[in-house]
Amino acid sequence: MNSKLFIISHYAASVVNFRGPLIKALRKEGVQVVVIAPDWQPQMETAVLALGGKIANFHMSRAGLNPISDLSTALQLWRYFKAEKPDIVFTYAAKTNVWGVLAAALAGVRHRVAMVEGMGYAFTEGMNGRNAKQRLLGMVLAVLYRVAFKFAHRVVVLNPDDACDLHRMCGLPLRKTFLLGGIGVPLEDWPIQAFHTEPLTFTLIARLLREKGILEYLQAARLVKAQHPKVRFCLLGGLDDNPGAICQADIQPWLNDGTVEWPGQVNVKPWLAKTSVYVLPSYREGVPRSTQEAMAMGRPVITTDVPGCRETVVDGVNGYIVPPRDVSALAFAMLRFVQNPELVSTMGTESRRLAEERFDVRIINQKLMKILNVVAENETSF
């Protein structure tokens, strides 16, 4: 009998983009896939069904801190697992990692895998370290992870810093920890594009969170634009309800004076096609998907020397690595491209090469399916 695998997501809208290739690969192996997530919309359901998966709904507050609501979420999942009897449960994101793993253990699911795609708001330091709210959330999450991961058979991380921090703060045994190195992108869907230098255009794609380095990007853009007014800066991404979110008023001065264009949450492919250099001055990541997409399309990258980001750039080869929260260093890296536009093509070519080496989703999903016990260790199916 074919295995039945449940993917537990915190956000239905992200499932196809982030888990679509995995669902497709699992179905190719004959695995029955059910995606459980809150707030399905008809077009999302249709997309998952088209991949060969099934969907189920549950209620969860993504940003809420109400323990009664969270326990209700766990109870819903436990009931569903008891009724449907999956062989494997795969969770990702903080809340689903905690409550999904615990519910699966109580329901007797035989193989339980959690994936930590970054340490998130609670563990990301700002200019003055972590504030009181972050420290409190971090303490609570560390305790919950410590409990939940005792019942996980395997915990997947994307970068080695996260593995070390989970071991140090949550007692996660290294024998349970598996380093994936990024979730990857389908390279055929993100083909290399003609290099773009007229006008020279910098782009940042991110939810509007302080920890993404949004304000540093805007400040550096203003410094560069003061010297080179024809250079274009784009910011793609929507407002968010995360505790670390910034609001439109925070970026309005840069919109008012024309420093940056902000179309909101859009299809990023046509914007990346018109981008010269991709910029992500984040404070911490898992391994950022947006950078992987930009690299696949042949875009040089400026990013920060922090966990997750440093895994995407070989400094001086496919871009530049700068210190986090350093506006001057970020502006200087941007100016290197302005003053030497030929770097757009030479470094962009290297980005594509590195994307093929490190971020091919077919190779990464083979590793992940072995961790999930779907394919044998010595088996390759593409």
Do 249 and 126 fall into the same domain? Answer: no
Distance CA 141, CA 122 (A): 8
Please check the confidence at residue 318 and state whether its pLDDT lies above 70: yes
Do 200 and 304 fall into the same domain? Answer: yes
Do 251 and 352 fall into the same domain? Answer: yes
User: Domain of 113: which CATH number?
Assistant: 3.40.50.2000
Mean pLDDT value across residues 285-308: 98
Mean pLDDT value across residues 109-138: 88
Q: Which pLDDT score, from 0 to 100, does residue 191 have?
A: 98
Q: Which pLDDT score, from 0 to 100, does residue 241 have?
A: 80
Distance CA 281, CA 217 (A): 7
Q: Quote the number of domains for the chain.
A: 2
Do 194 and 314 fall into the same domain? Answer: yes
Mean pLDDT value across residues 113-127: 88
Residue 376 counted as domain residue: no
Residue 379 counted as domain residue: no
Read off the pLDDT of residues 196-245 as tens digits, 9 standing for 90 and up. 999 999 999 999 999 999 999 999 999 999 999 999 999 999 998 888 88
Distance CA 157, CA 335 (A): 34
Q: Which pLDDT score, from 0 to 100, does residue 125 have?
A: 81
Please check the confidence at residue 127 and state whether its pLDDT lies above 60: yes
Do 322 and 301 fall into the same domain? Answer: yes
Q: Which pLDDT score, from 0 to 100, does residue 242 have?
A: 80
Which residues, other chains included, contact 209 with Cβ-Cβ below 8 Å and sequence gap of 6+?
121, 240, 242, 244, 245, 246
Residue 54 counted as domain residue: yes
Q: Which pLDDT score, from 0 to 100, does residue 194 have?
A: 97
Q: Which pLDDT score, from 0 to 100, does residue 376 have?
A: 74
pLDDT class of 131 with cuts at 50, 70, 90: confident
Do 178 and 194 fall into the same domain? Answer: no
pTM of the model: 0.93
Q: Which pLDDT score, from 0 to 100, does residue 379 have?
A: 58
- 171 vs 126, higher pLDDT: 171
Backbone angles phi, psi at 190, to 5 degrees: -130, 65
Q: Which pLDDT score, from 0 to 100, does residue 164 have?
A: 95
List the structure tokens of 240: 């968010």
Range of the domain at 286: 187-358
Mean pLDDT value across residues 283-302: 98
Do 115 and 212 fall into the same domain? Answer: no
Q: Which pLDDT score, from 0 to 100, does residue 243 have?
A: 80
CA-closest candidate to residue 257, choices 227, 215, 226, 280: 226
Helices 15-28, 361-371: inter-axial angle, 10-degree rounding: 70
Please check the confidence at residue 253 and state whether its pLDDT lies above 60: yes
Q: Which pLDDT score, from 0 to 100, does residue 181 have?
A: 94
Q: What is the mean pLDDT of the chain?
A: 95
DSSP 8-state assignment for residue 107: T
